[in-house]
Chain A
């Protein structure tokens, strides 16, 4: 017997359950179950008397509800598992994207994020969140002309289910920092599926592939790029233990016009770092002194 493994397992189980307490409503829940039990018995008795179709229907509905609750419980199981994995340490997301259109670095931690493009070793422009007067706001900085804009913090995407969200997956901006919920919702709505396992840096990752999406470009944008349609494709490779991404790739292809078609593609390799003060600080856009604020929607120059 390997007593070390047994001891570690015993300690681990103690730790795993140290903060677990029965919910306050358990006894009440037991009471409800007891009453449901008596209602079921009453319903059975009524059906046996041939006089209680309505009650029987009620019982059927209750049974169906149980199945839905079971499914919801399974969803919670999937989500909670990752939350548990991260409960002790929230980690800092660092993604480095190499793409046809440039190189980008993304840092994210909780609601904070910084997505930056470089020109050589110098930052060219950045977008994400900044801390202004102790408050987190959306920020957009163009280093090349020393300007910035601020905006209210927008919501993060919760899935890639809508056409707009799926389209954004074809670009190297990360859509969320709540990866578990994002992946779970995207799989559940059928916008992506588990498509296999891929080895990345010695790890057998689970590949999740998004359903390609094609949209007609808006008239204005179409005129600028001289194309009519865009198709986005994407895949995320997740750690099978934590379900956190270790790599993402995607592409956006424009076609159907006189420009002859163009595809921008990217690969983002992800690392997860400890939430040290320095690492967390990286997940904020900083506005250098002397930069001028401009007003308008983020990205509007």
Chain B
């Protein structure tokens, strides 16, 4: 009976908060499927302690999501290496199909940042946490958060400048 009650509480909690958590997971991983997988993994960790859990489940799940993501959650070998090969290290090129605007481009660029920088930027600009709060969630020193955020933003700026300086070629003839 106690188990059923605990499960009921968890399901109510998820009904209330799962969308927001899912969005965070999607931002951290870059896709709906990977986000769902990440969230399920975090939930599984919560469930290990659920019956004795008396803290803030959302806070626990968020910390787990971010830490899994920052530790390089994407752990799969061959296909992942292939994916990295396909994403050339070069800045986003003159993209003839890029009809998307810079906001969308920035999110795509965000997904190309290393996991730790991405986690910090999502915490800072999606969750809107301060540097101190971000450091507390990740369990890192504040200086580490500051430098990861700074490097991540700098990289995004460089990529965004490259994007801006790209002449749109859509509908245009090739040289």
Query: A residues engaging B (CB < 8 A)?
Result: 1-2, 5-6, 8-13, 15-17, 20-23, 26-27, 29-31, 33-34, 37, 70-71, 73-78, 80-81, 84-85, 88-89, 91, 187-188, 194, 197, 201-206, 238-244, 246, 269, 271-274
Contact = CB atoms under 8 A, between A and B. Distances in A.
Interface stretch (B62-70, B81-89, B129-137): B81-89
A12 B159 CA distance: 15
Nearest to A18: B23
Given A77-B34, A206-B85, A33 B106 contact: no
A20 B26 CA distance: 8
B103 A11 contact: yes
Contacts of A197: 88, 90
Interface residues of B, number: 71
A273 B170 contact: yes
Q: Which of A12, A29, A31, A269 has the largest count of B CB atoms less than 10 A from its CB? A: A12
A274 B125 CA distance: 32
Contact of B47 (A11, A26, A30, A74): A30
A30 B10 contact: yes
B157 A2 contact: yes
B171 A16 contact: no
Interface in B83-128: 83, 85-88, 90, 92-100, 102-108, 110-111, 121-122, 125-126
Given A33-B43, A73-B33, A80-B32, A13 B92 contact: no
A74 B79 contact: yes
A98 to B, nearest CB: 12
A187 B82 CA distance: 9
A76 B38 CA distance: 14
A73 B29 CA distance: 11
A8 B103 contact: yes
Contacts of B26: 16-17, 20
A203 B153 CA distance: 23
21 contacts: A5-B157, A9-B106, A16-B26, A26-B40, A27-B14, A33-B47, A73-B34, A74-B74, A74-B79, A76-B33, A77-B29, A78-B83, A80-B31, A80-B34, A81-B31, A85-B100, A203-B93, A204-B88, A204-B90, A240-B88, A272-B170
A180 B5 CA distance: 45
B90 A240 contact: yes
A239 B11 contact: no
Provide the main secondary structure of the chain B interface: helix
B48 interface: yes
Given A20-B22, A77-B29, A202-B93, 18 more contacts: A5-B153, A6-B153, A9-B110, A12-B103, A13-B126, A16-B26, A17-B23, A26-B18, A26-B39, A33-B43, A34-B7, A73-B76, A74-B80, A85-B100, A187-B82, A197-B88, A201-B174, A274-B171
Interface of B: 7, 10-11, 14-15, 18-19, 21-23, 26-27, 29-37, 39-40, 43-44, 47-48, 50, 74-76, 79-80, 82-83, 85-88, 90, 92-100, 102-108, 110-111, 121-122, 125-126, 153, 156-157, 160, 169-171, 174-175
B91 to A, nearest CB: 9
B136 to A, nearest CB: 21
A265 to B, nearest CB: 19
A272 B96 contact: yes
B106 A271 contact: no
Nearest to A88: B100
Contacts of A29: 40, 43
Contact of A202 (B34, B94, B102): B94
A15 B33 contact: no
Contacts of B125: 6, 9-10, 13
A91 B100 contact: no
B10 A27 contact: yes
Contacts of B44: 33, 37
Given A15-B107, A238-B86, A70 B37 contact: yes
